[in-house]
Structure 1
Amino acid sequence: MAFTTENRKIRDIFQRASIYEVPRYQRDYVWKEINWKELWIDLQFTLKQNNKEIPWSHFLGTIVLNQRLNKTKGIDIYEIIDGQQRMMTVYLLLIVLYKNFNKLGTESSKKRGTYIYDTFITSLNMESERELVISNDLYDNEIKLAIDSASRITTISKDNKLYKLYSYFDNLLKNKNFDYLDKFLDKLLSVNIVEIISGEDEEIYNIFEVLNARGQKLKQIELLKNHIMKYVQPREREFIDNAKSKWRIIQENINHLNDPDALIQHFTKCYIEKDAENQNSIYRLIKEEIKIEDLSNFLNELEFFSKIYKEISQRDNNDSVIRYFNIKRNQQIRSLLCAIYGLYNKNIIDEQVKNQSLLQIRNFFFIFNTTQQTSNKTDKLISTISYKVYNCETQNEFKILFTDFMNTLYQYIENKDYKLFFETNQSFKYSNKDKNLKRNSRLVKYVLELIYSYTQNDTSIISNEVTLEHLKSDDGTLENSSIWNITLTNEEINSNILKNKPILEKIEILKDKSSIKENQNLSKYIDNDEFNIIKRKNELINTIFENVFKFDKSIFHLTKEDIERYKYFENIFIENDEKELLKLLKEEGKNFEVVLSKNPKYNELNNKFKNLDNIKFNDELI
């Protein structure tokens, strides 16, 4: 079936017996006042040109529709591939006009309202039932409530997701008379629009891409969705429907993101070895690097990745590592975090290895950030290791990759005086009196929670149940804003008991009332009836860097020699296309040579290994 392109008017689109469906995987309604205002100004201009010699009409743009083969109760069904923003805006404007004709209360205005409802807002099916012309799973309830309010001439609730759109036009039309509303309706129905219709998915998706991709008007993830739906193989209805279902899941997993493109930005770092030129060229990179026949697997992996991404990108995630990066607003690390979670979810690494590696990543970046270094130093490293980790096949291979990565990171902090930097770093100072320090509350609280949890063996500290309390009164100075002058208490103790009492009195109250061990032991810092703040500072900083945020680049007990020998063998096996030896190397890691030489089942493979050119053998094993 060839596609048709027709110049239409809004009247033609909305008055035919049809339902226009917005697919679930389409983006939300995102038009704002600037878009509504443009339409309103053009319509007002056409009204003013009514009696002029040169006719003027508004051009709304293009809509791309996919016509369903089967009707529903005699009504044609069109899927909106492109143009839902325009269609939804006009539809809500028609509903507002319906309301304002009803509001006038005359016989003529009521008839005109009924005409709008019967002709443009609803379609009559063969069972004499009225169907809404626009069908959108995300907004169906809001649309129905808006129509109901228009019928009863009431204001829709502010909780309605379409409230701002509805109210914008309602405020402009609410005091207009019949003649004005009638002329306005006529001009709206006369708005020009280009309608492109086809019944073939491939053709429609190709049209969509030509109209949108070159100008980068849409989010890259929307262009990616269109590309996948256009080319995913095989081209069978059941398979394509399954692909659409997967995309709906992906969309649901990223609905909470301010920028949904973040998902594919981090996914491509894991899935494609080559880096995009910049954040705006991710979609182009995917098109260049992923073959059409591989799109199905790409979609499967993206769905898998999106579930992990949903977990680690939630602001209220209670995982200690993820909380730290959310507090620091470090999104660049997400590709690596997802890669490690991915290996765990695929049962390639166990939970202990996962937790150990994530903890060391956090501890490194805590020190890195404490020493006030910028993340652009590590961005390229994160991108490279993310790809390697996501695509590694065994736990021993991961340990080699991760330790090598840790050794590289260590170079950035090797000769830094962490403790001195910590003392002077204003990120660890908090005060309600200084707006610049007030924003540090989450980080200061996070660090204290971990310090206190280190000695809190019998009970846990629940973040949302504790608050920050200054020991010496908060006067806005850097000295009293420092983390070593701050503790954690529950809200009741903080607000109702401690208040602004002297520090020694606070310590006695905390010793008696608090369930936190560190609070109970604060009296150890009292010397000669004075609170020894220096002593507490030193102990707290020691705990931070020697216990809580201790960085250990050798958690998997691998030496630099182990890693170099592994990489040496890996390169030789790849060059000689020795897949069996490479597979065993990845499985056994640093124990490869021992297993190969000592296990009789590998005798043949061991002989092949010995016959390779340029191999440097371990003399102890020969």
Structure 2
Amino acid sequence: MSALNFNTANQTFRQLLGNGLTYRVPPFQRDYSWTEDEWEDLWQDILGLFSEDSESAHYLGYLVLQSSDSKQFEIIDGQQRLSTISILILAALGHLQNLVKDNIDAERNQRRKDNLQNSYIGYVDPVSLISRSKLELNRHNNRFYQTYMVPLETMPKRGLNASEHLLRRAFDWFQTRIVGYCQKDGTAVAAFLDTMVDKLFFTVITVTDELNAFKVFETLNSRGVRLSATDLLKNYLFSIVSSGDTHETELSAIEERWERIVDELGSESFPEFLRVYWNSCNPLVRKVDLFKTIRKQIVTRGQVFDLLRSLDKSASIYATLRDPQDSSLEASERQSLDRLLMFNVRQPLAMLIAAYRKFIDVDRPIFTRLLHAVTVISFRYNVICNLPPQDQEKIYNSVANKISNGTLNNWRSIINALQDIYPEDRLFSAAFQEKEFKTTASRNKKVVRYILFQIEKHESGQEFEFESAAYNLEHILPENPSAAWSHMDEHNQDRFVYRIGNMTPLEKKTNRNIGNKGYLEKIAAFQESCFSITQALPDRYTEWNESTIAARQNQLAKIATAIWRIDFGN
């Protein structure tokens, strides 16, 4: 982080708004969106500062600002909190103004109102002597904020957009609470605000440009702090568009397109989608370098429009690939996508987006076959062999780019290009023979059920629904062994209990009845099972120990090698 140009400090709201500093929500930042739930939470937190056993301060989280001169700041993250606190202060000032109108301690309340407004809402420019607001909102909200809220004018109730309605409602909501808390006492209002601005504090991160802001986002997000990198990218792209001779209707149209993309994916999924999209038609970019790369390559209005159109088209593809129940998919495609979700494998997504764009309308079977092949590769490479995903991603990115530019345009050329990330039979079989899954994790349990039910289908021809609640996963050596398993020492029990060879499908009731009994006591139940691979256990193994578990797992590995395979020669 030493290469980043940013400063970090803890600041109270009073410190934040002092010394003639001004704050601006970037024009294309999202609109004001807090509702009564958030207002109530903030209000209760503030009231807690005035209780008898109150804490000395209340922490409001990270605030990310961008500035080149340390005087004027753009609010990259935190606009909802700053806007709401400003509205609360305006509501209190509105209450003081009403006291003045009602001739209640009018002279002193007027001085209180002017002083507080100058400190936290606006200031007088020492050169022009013009009153200026300390906070500017985005392009959809600022006119309403500056025209009605800052000067405390009567606010209209009609002809407002949705976020302007929220601003007006927030003002009314907080004014009602302040009137109830302070009554008609101007001194109490001033004391309330004076205490509040000293007890609300942020961790303020100030960066010099968008690139540093994006790097800060990546760092904070890796530590569990959610920030709006999506908004940051939007601000950059739209600043390029608005810098030219762009009509308002054109801005509105592309903004609607952007919001449609984000709404379809969700703001939290958008950054991941953006990287997948970019890698589907460009050289591989790491997550930490994505914003820098886009900023370097997208520099004209035409490039922004082209990018947004392509993002719009690819967003629906990405949403489809992440939703196996999408009605536009064929049954086999839904099954393949469901497997990828179960395996928790994302590396192929860029290639699958490229293949969908290329083939879905002109030669759909190529896409369908490729989707199935990817599940086989993922099972071998990721699930069983657990090989480095970064090596795999490079191959998928290369294939995605070649599909996008037309270099790879048929099934054979594409599947051959993927051969380097297909673990060959010897490597796959060896890894399968040693594989264990701790089925205390639900995903692992689901994967083992999938494996064993596929082996059952291959061996008997019977297809059972592997997610059905009618069947359980039987650990032959139980997870909690009884005295009947004392022939295996505890160390080996721990080593072998979660090996694939120690598990088999079994009817739920039967599984419950046999519990943690010894192997010889379980044999009769196995013989009555509807699963052929479970029925076969007593015929093949007269006892159950470390060597028989290993022997069965070796046998299952041979079957698995035949099931999950791609014949590159045919």
Q: Do the two structures share a fold, i.e. TM-score over 0.5?
A: yes
Partner of residue 388 from structure 2, selected from 374, 396, 399: 374
2:315 alignment partner in structure 1:
306
1:284 alignment partner in structure 2:
292
The 5-angstrom pairing of residues 233-244 of structure 1 reads 235-244=246-255
Amino acid at match of 1:450: Q
Deviations along 1:500-549, one digit per CA (max 9) or x if unpaired, are 3444655654665x6xx52x5522221386466566434422221101x1
Q: In the alignment, does 2:473 pair up with 1:472?
A: no
Matched residues, percent identical?
A: 15
Contact 1:25/1:248, CA 8 A, preserved across alignment = no
Amino acid at match of 2:363: I
Shift of 1:255: 1.8
1:331 alignment partner in structure 2:
346
Partner of residue 544 from structure 1, selected from 560, 565, 570: 560
Cα pair distance change 1:424/1:85, threshold 3 Å? same
> Could you tell me how far apart the structure 2 residues matched to 1:324 and 1:144 are?
50
Contact 2:342/2:443, CA 8 A, preserved across alignment = no
> Could you tell me how far apart the structure 1 residues matched to 2:461 and 2:432 are?
24
2:433 alignment partner in structure 1:
423
Deviations along 1:328-358, one digit per CA (max 9) or x if unpaired, are 544333212322233344x1331x3223212
Secondary structure of 1:397's aligned partner: coil
Q: In the alignment, does 2:300 pair up with 1:296?
A: no
Cα pair distance change 1:256/1:297, threshold 3 Å? closer
Contact 1:466/1:489, CA 8 A, preserved across alignment = yes
2:357 alignment partner in structure 1:
342
Shift of 1:271: 2.4
Amino acid at match of 2:275: Q
Secondary structure of 2:317's aligned partner: helix
Deviations along 1:100-144, one digit per CA (max 9) or x if unpaired, are x99xxxx999xx9xx99x977996335xx499999289x889969
Amino acid at match of 2:556: L
Shift of 1:307: 2.0
Shift of 1:484: 2.2
> Could you tell me how far apart the structure 2 residues matched to 1:150 and 1:61 are?
29
Cα pair distance change 1:543/1:294, threshold 3 Å? same
1:124 alignment partner in structure 2:
154
Shift of 1:246: 1.5
Q: In the alignment, does 2:458 pair up with 1:448?
A: no
Shift of 1:416: 3.8
> Could you tell me how far apart the structure 1 residues matched to 2:167 and 2:461 are?
51
1:402 alignment partner in structure 2:
414
Amino acid at match of 1:499: G
> Could you tell me how far apart the structure 1 residues matched to 2:518 and 2:445 are?
22
Cα pair distance change 1:522/1:463, threshold 3 Å? closer
Secondary structure of 2:280's aligned partner: helix
Contact 2:478/2:516, CA 8 A, preserved across alignment = yes
Shift of 1:388: 1.5
> Could you tell me how far apart the structure 1 residues matched to 2:337 and 2:476 are?
29
Deviations along 1:562-589, one digit per CA (max 9) or x if unpaired, are xxxxxxxxxxxxxxxxxxxxxxxxxxxx
Larger mean Cα displacement after TM superposition, 327-336 or 246-255: 327-336
Q: In the alignment, does 2:239 pair up with 1:230?
A: yes
Q: In the alignment, does 2:163 pair up with 1:135?
A: yes
> Could you tell me how far apart the structure 2 residues matched to 1:83 and 1:365 are?
39
Secondary structure of 1:382's aligned partner: helix
What is the count of residue pairs matched by the alignment? 432
Amino acid at match of 2:287: Q
Shift of 1:299: 1.0
Deviations along 1:368-405, one digit per CA (max 9) or x if unpaired, are 34334322333322221121223439xx8132541331
Secondary structure of 2:163's aligned partner: strand
Amino acid at match of 2:389: S
Q: In the alignment, does 2:103 pair up with 1:91?
A: no
Cα pair distance change 1:189/1:123, threshold 3 Å? farther
Cα pair distance change 1:480/1:280, threshold 3 Å? closer
Amino acid at match of 2:393: D
Shift of 1:247: 0.8
Cα pair distance change 1:180/1:213, threshold 3 Å? farther
Contact 1:525/1:533, CA 8 A, preserved across alignment = no
Amino acid at match of 1:312: L
- TM-score normalised by structure 2 residue count: 0.59
Secondary structure of 1:284's aligned partner: helix
2:375 alignment partner in structure 1:
362
Cα pair distance change 1:286/1:93, threshold 3 Å? closer
Structure 2 alignment gaps of length 5 or more: 1-15, 51-62, 68-72, 96-101, 118-147, 200-206, 218-227, 327-332, 481-492
Shift of 1:225: 1.8
Contact 1:270/1:383, CA 8 A, preserved across alignment = yes
1:486 alignment partner in structure 2:
503
Shift of 1:363: 1.9
Deviations along 1:135-157, one digit per CA (max 9) or x if unpaired, are 289x889969976994898xxxx
1:522 alignment partner in structure 2:
534
Cα pair distance change 1:230/1:473, threshold 3 Å? same
1:604 alignment partner in structure 2:
none
What's the C-alpha RMSD, in Å, of the aligned pairs? 5.5
1:246 alignment partner in structure 2:
257
Amino acid at match of 2:429: K
> Could you tell me how far apart the structure 2 residues matched to 1:422 and 1:415 are?
10
Shift of 1:85: 2.1
Q: In the alignment, does 2:529 pair up with 1:499?
A: no
Secondary structure of 2:409's aligned partner: helix
> Could you tell me how far apart the structure 2 residues matched to 1:450 and 1:152 are?
68
Contact 2:273/2:315, CA 8 A, preserved across alignment = yes
Contact 1:525/1:535, CA 8 A, preserved across alignment = no
Cα pair distance change 1:293/1:95, threshold 3 Å? closer
Cα pair distance change 1:61/1:255, threshold 3 Å? closer
Cα pair distance change 1:22/1:289, threshold 3 Å? closer
> Could you tell me how far apart the structure 2 residues matched to 1:28 and 1:470 are?
51
> Could you tell me how far apart the structure 2 residues matched to 1:469 and 1:178 are?
73
Contact 1:125/1:131, CA 8 A, preserved across alignment = no
Shift of 1:266: 1.7
Larger mean Cα displacement after TM superposition, 360-369 or 503-512: 503-512
> Could you tell me how far apart the structure 1 residues matched to 2:159 and 2:81 are?
16
Amino acid at match of 2:503: I
Deviations along 1:55-98, one digit per CA (max 9) or x if unpaired, are xxxxx99799xxxxxxxxxxxxxxx9956724534525755997
> Could you tell me how far apart the structure 2 residues matched to 1:149 and 1:488 are?
63
Amino acid at match of 2:250: F
Cα pair distance change 1:26/1:261, threshold 3 Å? farther
Q: In the alignment, does 2:478 pair up with 1:461?
A: no
Amino acid at match of 1:421: A
Q: In the alignment, does 2:287 pair up with 1:270?
A: no
Partner of residue 392 from structure 1, selected from 392, 402, 406: 406
Shift of 1:302: 0.9
Cα pair distance change 1:125/1:146, threshold 3 Å? closer
> Could you tell me how far apart the structure 2 residues matched to 1:530 and 1:523 are?
15
Secondary structure of 1:135's aligned partner: helix
> Could you tell me how far apart the structure 1 residues matched to 2:479 and 2:196 are?
62
Cα pair distance change 1:236/1:189, threshold 3 Å? same
Contact 1:221/1:261, CA 8 A, preserved across alignment = yes
Cα pair distance change 1:443/1:236, threshold 3 Å? same
